[in-house]
Structure 1
């Protein structure tokens, strides 16, 4: 009996950055007609492995083969020529161009025929006339996936593709992966969410500290076997809210937090209206009042004004009308730096482009907006003091980094998120924190830490606005939940209500139950 050659075979692959061993003798086999999941915590080596397969880095040692033939890409163009398509965590789209203009940069013949094929085979459709910068993050990710599928690749590699997707978009993506595999293709799905792997995958390889910690057919593995491989502790030790947020448990029924609202308003919006370039309302007369020590969750299908609300709070967009107040102080016309100084921390949805400066060091990113603290006589930057403060933050927040002077771009997406969170939570004063999807792309242990720090911020008196597509996360952390729908905030819903989940679902489609 003749066995088909592996779609991808990796043997003894190794890669180091300075003294850090990112990959240490990786062996992996991906069979045709399968979805092979690569699991692991942030910094385990998953993205480095993807870059090696996609040709954007050359390993120090080891070999790769593709369908039985030698495969040694030296650049991304080599991978594309061999039929390997890689969808990165961070988008490679031109924001000021339309979707169609971005797709035409591929220089593929018969673009519209290709789009029709992708739509018919995978159910993926995109708005060709939309500008990338006007699309929500989930829609941008879909464009990236369509770009990859237009090339009809023999091997599709997806690096944390669901990190920016909501539940419905995630379901659609996993169905696409299965369709590709069922048609005889091969998919490498990199994810930290075990629930996704168990739903869509055939086989798995678990990385930990740059090495293979285990793996095998997912039909023979389960949570109890996979969780210890990833994090070194048993699955039944996880908090139910945490397990739900990473896709492992039954839905959380009620909130676990009970914190009385302190007197006074930490963050308030009054009659805020913001129009999109096409004239439609992104925010339509929004009123919102968050008390000191209160956590208010925002649920909703993406594209209903959540992104614009965060841009407004961060100061990158200005309201057409209305008022924003922080601790009673009018901040409507204040810029980002003034809001930071006043105590408004903002964790944006797109951490890579909006939350950090990849070219600067980790230390500088940890103290963006506060570098004046480290200047001698207001001029020279005391880099030794900056490095010491950054090292303390790296240790306290469990950031896996070569050191404080390494560029931000050297970090995995999850560790970049930890840097952004560490910086915003360290504001003094911290009057209010607005966080969008703060646990997207984070592994189990990091999600646990983020939940704890959000609770701690509220316990110290900060008002917290939490925008999340993870309903379990909202129900577990929030004192009340509002639902974004067509630029308005509906509700509130009490997370302790046994019917909270159903009521939120109704509000997400615009229903107003009695």
Structure 2
């Protein structure tokens, strides 16, 4: 175990000893030790359900440990509620937002009832470069911007210890860079940061030390100089790093990659496209248009084809129409113009249930509020929209049969839950994501899967499994449309990639083509607006300005 004081004799910013927490028969934390030094960024890693969020909630005062002790800067610390943590100088940014969607950003910040709020906001802007539109309504903001509001809320308290529970899962690359820089600034000011993350690239860029949890226990800990990725991955997932898919391993810095567009050798567009027979379209979008209240276009006559057996990615900085496109596909937003066809069936104005019956699986970007019903059981969430298969006499719900079916899905997708009857809200964020994905992938027939940020909040092993299942679905003849802020993910998973920019889709870059990353990067920056030399748009992806 790390010593309770560093070489300069300073007390640790945080010292956790023998922490245990159980929920019924489930042991979330079992004898956890953790030492966070002042002036450092300490990363907490582990699989989904390993106990990372529970640890943060105990430190942040929203949960009380069964046993164990905490010390904060050398003093005993035993919070009973979040207000105790704030009073002690600890602020936490949770996985799930606590914002009021009907209020503006400024109104949400005023709910904190802090003195000198304008001065505090100005200080956070100046020190960390986190800009906000105080007049914007929270419900109208992309998920990444809402996360920024949560981070600003925490920083307004000027904490000496900041807890960040998977904060970059909803941020675009620029937002992630800004957040990691913020973490470093806080550490350089002598304070401490506990950063829960699944992304080893972020660990290497921002962290000083790491603790890995597996099954509620500490699997390993130490300075990052002694914990390179090839040591961290086995500690996290309990199996060798070599077992990971080559493209995923390469994206986290383990091995060179020779597939898709993530590195190594590359192929010509013709070679990449040849493996996907033109046996019909899984998804056909034509001239989709969505106007905002101010008259601007969230979607500007978007057209896109996804063939059966093909995986198509959409890259782009958050806020360029991806959220609206997924809302149209899911049926929660009616387009002002254009059409949506799945397997030749027009679903433009169909209900979500009708879309499910037609074989369109949709994984929304906000799994907690849009992808599941937290108050219902895991089993009920796994079969939302398909409860008819468990009806007896057309009236009664055969819960025993549903439970048995749910147990099979839970085991197959390695969802950590206290049984099929457990409330969905009791699952960790990553396991909620697994459940939502499992539900959509299990559609019969599955004609097309449309997934926004499908691996957001998942550990390395789970990401590997999700990629494998999407590929299996494509190999079985389904189409897949994947929206992700992670370019490495798209390059490793997809056959071709379009870029969302100001409500349009630009280009159609074959993922295995030489220079694919650079070409996509230029499209993400809107290089065509400056008349730069860009690849010709593929006939399957068109972008027409209104």
TM-score range, shorter-chain basis? over 0.9
Check the 8 A contact 1:274/1:319 in 2, yes or no. yes
Please name the residue that 1:331 is paired with: 347
Check the 8 A contact 2:233/2:460 in 1, yes or no. no
Which whole-Å CA distance do the structure 1 matches of 2:336 and 2:282 have between them? 22
Q: 1:164 offset after TM fit, Å?
A: 1.2
Which whole-Å CA distance do the structure 2 matches of 1:356 and 1:4 have between them? 46
1:78-89 to 2 correspondences below 5 Å? 78-89=84-95
Q: 1:488 offset after TM fit, Å?
A: 0.7
Cα gap change, 1:249 to 1:98, in 2 (>3 Å): farther
Q: 1:250 offset after TM fit, Å?
A: 6.2
Check the 8 A contact 2:169/2:456 in 1, yes or no. yes
Cα gap change, 1:307 to 1:388, in 2 (>3 Å): same
Which whole-Å CA distance do the structure 2 matches of 1:45 and 1:488 have between them? 41
RMSD: 1.6
Normalised TM-score (structure 2): 0.91
Please name the residue that 2:543 is paired with: none
Secondary structure of residue in 2 paired with 1:481: strand
Q: 1:237 offset after TM fit, Å?
A: 4.0
Q: 1:16 offset after TM fit, Å?
A: 0.9
Check the 8 A contact 1:245/1:470 in 2, yes or no. no
> Which sections of structure 1, spanning at least 5 residues, go unmatched?
none
1:390-415 per-position Cα deviation (integer Å, ceiling 9, x unaligned): 00000111111111111111111111
Q: 1:114 offset after TM fit, Å?
A: 0.6
Q: 1:466 offset after TM fit, Å?
A: 0.8
Secondary structure of residue in 1 paired with 2:492: helix
Which whole-Å CA distance do the structure 2 matches of 1:267 and 1:435 have between them? 13
Which whole-Å CA distance do the structure 2 matches of 1:226 and 1:328 have between them? 47
2:277 matches 1:261: yes
Cα gap change, 1:2 to 1:454, in 2 (>3 Å): closer
2:229 matches 1:223: yes
Number of equivalenced pairs = 514
Runs of 4+ in 1 over 4 A off after TM superposition: 244-251, 254-258
2:34 matches 1:28: yes
1:298-309 to 2 correspondences below 5 Å? 298-309=314-325
Normalised TM-score (structure 1): 0.97
Please name the residue that 1:122 is paired with: 128
Q: 1:262 offset after TM fit, Å?
A: 3.3
Cα gap change, 1:261 to 1:108, in 2 (>3 Å): farther
2:386 matches 1:380: no
1:159-178 to 2 correspondences below 5 Å? 159-178=165-184
Which whole-Å CA distance do the structure 2 matches of 1:248 and 1:317 have between them? 41
Which whole-Å CA distance do the structure 2 matches of 1:227 and 1:325 have between them? 41
Q: 1:162 offset after TM fit, Å?
A: 1.1
1:25-82 per-position Cα deviation (integer Å, ceiling 9, x unaligned): 0011111111111111111110110110111111111111111222111111211121
1:214-253 to 2 correspondences below 5 Å? 214-246=220-252, 252-253=262-263
Please name the residue that 2:541 is paired with: none
Q: 1:216 offset after TM fit, Å?
A: 0.6
2:360 matches 1:354: no
